[in-house]
Structure 1
Amino acid sequence: MTDQQLSLATASYDDGDVDTNPTRNPHLADLVARRYSRRQLMGGMSAMTTAVFGGALLAGCDDDKQDVITVSDGVNVQTQGGRVVTLTATATDNASTTKFTQVSGPTVPVIASGNSITFTAPNVAQSTALVFEFTASGGSGSSSARSTVTVLPATLAFTAVAKNLNDVVTVPSDYQVTVLYRLGDPIAASVAAYANDGSDTNFAQRAGDHHDGMSFFGLAASGSAPDTTNNTRGVLVLNHENITQAYLHANGPSPSPRPEAEAIKEIEAHGVSVIEVTRASNTGAWSYVQGSALNRRITPNTPVQFNGPVRGNAALRTLYAADGTTGRGTINNCANGYMPWGTYLTNEENWAGYFRRTAGDAAVRTATGNAKQNVSLTRYGISEGRAGNYGWTTVTPSDATSTVFARWNATAGASAAADGTADFRNEPFQFGWVVEIDPYTQTSTPRKRTALGRMNHEGCMAGRVVAGVRPAFYMGDDAQNEYIYKFVSATPWVAADATPSDRLATGDKYLDTGTLYVARFEADGSGTWLPLTFGQNGLTAANASYAFADQADVLINARLAADVLGATRMDRPEWTAVNPVNGEMYCTLTNNSSRTPATTDAANPRAYTDPKLPQGDVVNADPPTSAQATRGNANGHVIRLRETGDTTEATGFTWDIYAFGSGADLDPTNINLSGLDASNDFSSPDGLWFGLPSNASGQVAPVLWIETDDGAYTDVTNCMLLAAMPGSVGDGGTRVVNNTLTTAANSTTTSTATTRIGAAPGSKLKRFLVGPKECEITGITSTPDGRSLFVNIQHPGENGGPANITSSWPANQAGAVTSPTRPRSATIVITKTDGGVVGL
């Protein structure tokens, strides 16, 4: 809906019959149903909003006293939080100056243009009046009038998108999608446009593949200085988690031994992009700036440095980094974190699969006094016999001194130095960390923050920062039956650090010293943060399962330490998000095919056979084939917790499950526990993000965005993005779940689990977007005003290849293509046609 303006200089009055206001306030036709004399038509004021359009009531003036300044009486209109409001006024021609002034209500920033002001209504807890006064002045005096804009609480004011299997991004009808930044797009002025036929090279200066976690950092109108309020210019930082190997090469990948050029391309297509993005105006089109001096790619080959307790540890020593203080790059970067001091955290997730470890390695480590490493490598999934993803170690480099391929072979050389400085046996210990990047300084070196522990890191989201209180950072370890963690800094927050001169030094201050905790969830809805501190609770050299040497050893082997402490095994903890109003932390538990009735607990209460809809097949294979049912917690859930005393320093919390993923037509008693319907059912929640407190989507009742990465429901719909307005921990009740699971042998096991479940989401959870074929929806951020939402579409058409293209997205987003086009992961921008806050 576009803004409309009523003019009282016309002969009749019409509100356009646009009735989007659910209240019973009078229509404009009622407001203006009065007699107006000729002299009352000398001036006027009109009010426009995207929800209600208000007319003006004019004060009179005397025809014989044309020097009297006259403006209108005020108007009363209503709108909702997040809607764009425009007030326009007129005065008699002899007024020399005019202005609007807000005289009451929560202060809102306005954009003035002539005799008009435009602002976005804030969110409110209850009906709230904003009063604006328009004043016109001249040599003989002045006149003024007031208008009242009554703001109602925001709602998810869009029609839910239907589930579908289309090959485009589908959003509500009053929204639009712009494709911004695609696989292969050049980020240096000298780099040619992407041919998208497998011939392209130099991915160190092109967009990588599998766009993932992402944050927007505002830029000043000119230069590279931060401006956290700018909505039309910024730096977008995003992860490139993985690759769709088949589409990167002309005819798909060559077999091993791999060609050097193909392997270089694949390695460089991983990592992180830092790019400048701009908008032509507050309502114009978004684009990225190809030749910006701020642009850069951080790939697995980019130099990095280690900080924190593990810096310089013997486990980090390699042929490349003999002193254990530096390394190369980052890989399999999934979720992210925006730091309060203006930096970006990228998180290394499924990094273990990239390493080769051949038979006999364990014996060599044992013989050289490193038998403990065998326990560690196995716990992190690097067992003997692994070939390593994509066969990079099979490349014979053209430069005999190069180690960019050999580094992925973690096999210990039998004749090499036992300290690891002559080979890459220790290279796996250089990965699994949180990595901090300064988006504003192109020459800065990324820092791996070892105090936050080593695992399959997903998100690392900061809790609310409060002056004088030590901040916390929440993390998930994305693998079946792994844990949820938080790191509490040793340093209390100082407000001045929100705008530091040296952002990475500020990261040193808050991220290099502190305590790493792991969560234990109790059946009664309480929980405990258990400290991973050397010398406490069995984390000692005397521990039977793994002899910890020191705090660095605990952090390198955070999983082993959490095992010892008895943390709660979760259903694949992925992204974390923190409600900016009440500080509650949400975490997606995507799914868990290994969850059984016997291993359910209060925080992970479901284990069932989930039939592929609508067939209802019974499992008869192990594991089930893609055409059959899935088992365990196939659809996942979203858990949330509230810290004791609402402080990030707490060591206790309460918890419940916000929502359970499920098809709408599954068993409402034991599977569809949240009562989902066709407008909001989902499976495998993954990405998670709250709207920003700088706009209505992050105020009072913040919007929670939920992205899916689904395997159990993709016969019904492509992956999706949902918007929610969740309540708070404890707003629901207790449920008993009766689990029934059919095994591969068609035998049935059952159990019961009592869990804590939030209030049914109902209409406060809606499907906002459905992606193209075979994609994952992941990565999300917005401008400070919430009027531009950035979303990543990962691996569309991932099941195809050059000879069998299964998706043509994003080439087809603007319309059908004449022939199949290779799909590309891409960043999109979603805006509302009326310019309001996205989702509201």
Structure 2
Amino acid sequence: MRQEHHHYHDDLQAVDDRRLNPSQATDLDTIVSRSRRQVLKGGLALAAFGLFGGSLLGCQRSTPGAQPLVAPLMGFTGVAAQTGADFDRILVADGYRAEAFFSWGDAVLDSAPPWRDDASQDWQAQLLQAGDNHDGMHFFPFEEAPNAHGLLVINHEYINPTLHSDGFSYTELQDGRRQRPLDQVRKEQAAHGVSVLEIRRDTEGQWQRVSGSRYHRRISAMTPMVVSGPLRGDRRMRTASDPSGTEVLGTLNNCSMGVTPWGTYLTCEENFHNYFVNRDAADHASRPTHQRYGIGQGQRSAYYAWESVDARFDATPDEQQPHQGHVNEPHRFGWVVEIDPFDPYSTPIKRTAMGRLGRECSVLSMGDDGRMAVYSGDDARGEYVWKFIPDGRHDPANRAASRDLLDSGILYAARFDEDGRGHWLPLIWGVQGLTAANGFADQQAVLLNARGAADILGATPMDRPEWVAVHPESREVYVTLTNNHERGDRSPLDAANPRPNNQHGQILRWREDGADPAATAFKWDLFLLAGDQPGATDAEGQPLPDNLIGTIQGDIFSSPDGLAFDGGGRLWIQTDSDEEAAHTVNTGCNQLLCADPQTREVRRFLVGPRGAEITGITWTPDYRTLWINVQHPGISYPASDGHSRPRSTTVMITHEDGRVIGS
């Protein structure tokens, strides 16, 4: 079972992370040459690293009533890396407890049947239970008891073969297509999406799912959703099943997320391209919205083959159907989906003003004047860092007036210059080459092919940008760049992406001019390069090459992914590396780490089971209860008995003395 799962995860990563950006970024040749020379000299002499001589946090804004950061921020002893092939549990810092809280198949709705270890339950049961591959999540507290009662909202990114008793079933057809069983596809669609749970801490201090709650809800790939913003009703959003272009069935590949100050949840559709196929090669090549976003081309889809039983995933044009069949269906995914967790009867909304991306997250930063920025990474090699600035302002005294703020604004892509300055490039039709002559008929076309628009503007291709985190005091912004070991000519070296064979990734940060989220320029530096310490050796005792050496001050790790700040200013880092690869011989299983933004010290707080990504992070408002997700464990977690079916699981972490996590 573990072997089957592990091979699935590797194959899917290879599909998800492939480079789709055709831009050459030739204006960065000078940066490339200088960065390459400095990296090859020894790995530590980085052009961008010395730009500022220290943390940007020295310029913190003054907030009335805010407490200054107290050093040291971290009061726990770091745990050791785990490299054993049979490690099948969680190791957490001394004094802390890590307990499985909510696993794939657990009840969401009260009518859900108990989960079965043989995975024999059907799709109707799955619609009532927790979906697969838990990812981004957030705890929404109730005002009367904010640290003891709230809604836990959890993304379910994709599905593993372990969802079925005997894995994925395919029948190979003579014409090269693959046929899937309808019941398997329906169960897979049901296991995607979002879970909403009401949870409460009981009189003995134990957190429990609240039975009979009106708030419990499962949102899936079959849930109707409203299209809003500039693309609502647009001809490029219309399909045979939705001639109006206003209602989409479902959400897919829900990775990370964001929250709004008006109390809604923003789930992000990341690698949606894996679910579609356009079998007409000439048509596929003529559509930038298919080609640039990696929509499958050929007789079968990239992985799932849902199109064999669900026509809307076959994006091949059909001249005999209205709107050419389902050729526009991929246009209806890749958006931010806004969900009101406090209204179980509300319809999720796809906010098209924010642009169509393989979006990892939607992290909001609020200015003193109510202006906002929503930051995102587009998780593929050579893609971009983004910011959306709504036209309106948030009024905390009138939250209802903010409910449609995300329907109007300007989308920006980032350019990171070699001198440590950066600029936000606006995606506005008719400006800087975003014209009909370059394939953009109107603003809707720009938003639909935001990647292609950023190519023309000269945004900086990045090493797989993923989660973003905003410091609670300074508004300094951090982004994880997970890795890029297939750089090629289309994802060149530069000051922000300085390693030629980037197996370990890096964390980059910037400060908007004036600490204003709506600014269009910023100052940036590299917070750290992940990887081994200088002098490290491989399994045979041989020195590691320079590209595997990082700049971490403290506990080493590979492939940063999840990222979040707590209220005390601690930066929490989650990893998604391949622990069976040669370059992770010393970093081992994936981890949750904590970093001090001022000193750059990093400590390993938790290590997850073999085969798992550590992802998703949220706290109670007092930061004394922490939840994280263990996604796609490889052996038998959370049972950890060596033979049970592994289950993606939300894990709850507390300190035995009730102290603030990490303090």
Indicate the TM-score class for this superposition, using the shorter chain for normalisation. 0.7 to 0.9
Corresponding letter in the other structure for 2:90? V
Does residue 311 of structure 2 align to residue 433 of structure 1? no
The residue number in structure 1 matching 2:292 is 379
- Distance across 1 between alignment mates of 2:590 and 2:69: 33
Listed one character per residue, the Cα deviations across residues 477-503 of structure 1 (whole Å, up to 9, x for unaligned) are: 100000001011111232314xx3x4x
- Distance across 1 between alignment mates of 2:67 and 2:89: 32
Listed one character per residue, the Cα deviations across residues 315-335 of structure 1 (whole Å, up to 9, x for unaligned) are: 110122111111111000101
The residue number in structure 2 matching 1:506 is 402
The residue number in structure 1 matching 2:532 is 663
- Distance across 1 between alignment mates of 2:313 and 2:77: 49
The residue number in structure 1 matching 2:622 is 785
- Distance across 1 between alignment mates of 2:643 and 2:293: 40
Corresponding letter in the other structure for 1:259? P
Listed one character per residue, the Cα deviations across residues 294-326 of structure 1 (whole Å, up to 9, x for unaligned) are: 011110110001111111111110122111111
The residue number in structure 2 matching 1:264 is 186
The residue number in structure 2 matching 1:769 is 606
The residue number in structure 2 matching 1:275 is 197
Q: SS state of the match for residue 274, structure 1? A: strand
- Distance across 1 between alignment mates of 2:166 and 2:448: 40
- Distance across 1 between alignment mates of 2:313 and 2:365: 35
* Alpha-carbon spacing, 1:822–1:573, altered in 2? closer, same or farther (3 Å): same
- Distance across 1 between alignment mates of 2:424 and 2:492: 21
Does residue 56 of structure 2 align to residue 160 of structure 1? no
Instruction: Give the number of the structure whose alpha-carbon radius of gyration is greater.
Output: 1
Q: Which has the higher contact order (CA 8 A, sep 6+)?
A: 2
The residue number in structure 1 matching 2:156 is 240
Matches within 5 A, 1:332-351: 332-351=253-272
The residue number in structure 2 matching 1:523 is 418
The residue number in structure 2 matching 1:731 is none
Q: SS state of the match for residue 655, structure 1? A: strand
Check conservation: 2:135, 2:155, Cα contact below 8 A. yes
Check conservation: 1:660, 1:672, Cα contact below 8 A. no
| C-alpha RMSD over aligned residues | 2.1
Q: 1:723 aligns with which of 594, 598, 619?
A: 594
* Alpha-carbon spacing, 1:708–1:162, altered in 2? closer, same or farther (3 Å): same
Corresponding letter in the other structure for 2:342? Y
The residue number in structure 1 matching 2:167 is 252
Matches within 5 A, 1:388-399: 388=301, 389-395=303-309
The residue number in structure 2 matching 1:305 is 226
The residue number in structure 1 matching 2:135 is 212
- Distance across 2 between alignment mates of 1:714 and 1:210: 23
Corresponding letter in the other structure for 2:590? C
Listed one character per residue, the Cα deviations across residues 610-656 of structure 1 (whole Å, up to 9, x for unaligned) are: xxxxxxxxxxxxxxxxxxxxxx2110001111001111111100000
Identity percentage over the alignment?
Answer: 45
Corresponding letter in the other structure for 2:355? G
Q: SS state of the match for residue 73, structure 2? A: coil
Shift, 1:289, TM fit: 2.6
Shift, 1:195, TM fit: 1.1
Matches within 5 A, 1:418-567: 419-420=323-324, 423-466=325-368, 468-497=369-398, 500=399, 502=400, 506-508=402-404, 510-543=405-438, 547-567=439-459
The residue number in structure 1 matching 2:507 is 638
- Distance across 1 between alignment mates of 2:211 and 2:113: 10
- Distance across 2 between alignment mates of 1:654 and 1:718: 34
- Distance across 1 between alignment mates of 2:473 and 2:548: 29
Matches within 5 A, 1:600-619: 600-607=493-500
- Distance across 2 between alignment mates of 1:809 and 1:583: 37
Q: 2:565 aligns with which of 673, 690, 694?
A: 690
Does residue 352 of structure 2 align to residue 411 of structure 1? no
* Alpha-carbon spacing, 1:492–1:188, altered in 2? closer, same or farther (3 Å): closer
Corresponding letter in the other structure for 1:271? G
Shift, 1:588, TM fit: 0.5
Check conservation: 1:333, 1:348, Cα contact below 8 A. yes
State the TM-score, normalizing by the size of structure 1. 0.66
Report the more deviating stretch, 651-660 or 595-604: 595-604
- Distance across 2 between alignment mates of 1:255 and 1:213: 30
* Alpha-carbon spacing, 1:771–1:349, altered in 2? closer, same or farther (3 Å): same
Corresponding letter in the other structure for 2:293? Y
The residue number in structure 2 matching 1:695 is none
Shift, 1:465, TM fit: 3.6
Q: SS state of the match for residue 304, structure 2? A: helix
Shift, 1:291, TM fit: 3.4
Corresponding letter in the other structure for 1:661? A
Report the more deviating stretch, 249-258 or 584-593: 249-258
Shift, 1:673, TM fit: 6.4
Does residue 553 of structure 2 align to residue 707 of structure 1? no
Q: SS state of the match for residue 599, structure 1? A: coil
Shift, 1:715, TM fit: 4.2
The residue number in structure 2 matching 1:622 is none
Query: Which 4+ stretches in 1 moved above 6 angstroms?
Result: none
Shift, 1:668, TM fit: 9.8
Does residue 103 of structure 2 align to residue 182 of structure 1? yes
Corresponding letter in the other structure for 2:418? A
Listed one character per residue, the Cα deviations across residues 349-389 of structure 1 (whole Å, up to 9, x for unaligned) are: 0100110221x3534x8xxxxx85x2221111015216223
Does residue 647 of structure 2 align to residue 647 of structure 1? no
Give the structure with the larger helix fraction: 2
Does residue 449 of structure 2 align to residue 573 of structure 1? no
Check conservation: 1:240, 1:269, Cα contact below 8 A. yes
* Structure 1 residue ranges without an equivalent (≥5): 1-105, 108-121, 127-152, 222-228, 366-370, 396-404, 608-631, 692-697, 728-758, 798-806
- Distance across 2 between alignment mates of 1:582 and 1:668: 37
The residue number in structure 2 matching 1:584 is 476
Listed one character per residue, the Cα deviations across residues 655-677 of structure 1 (whole Å, up to 9, x for unaligned) are: 00111110224589954665436
- Distance across 2 between alignment mates of 1:668 and 1:704: 28
Listed one character per residue, the Cα deviations across residues 430-462 of structure 1 (whole Å, up to 9, x for unaligned) are: 001011110110000111111110010001100
Does residue 663 of structure 2 align to residue 835 of structure 1? no
Q: SS state of the match for residue 496, structure 1? A: coil
Corresponding letter in the other structure for 1:248? L
How many equivalent pairs are there? 575
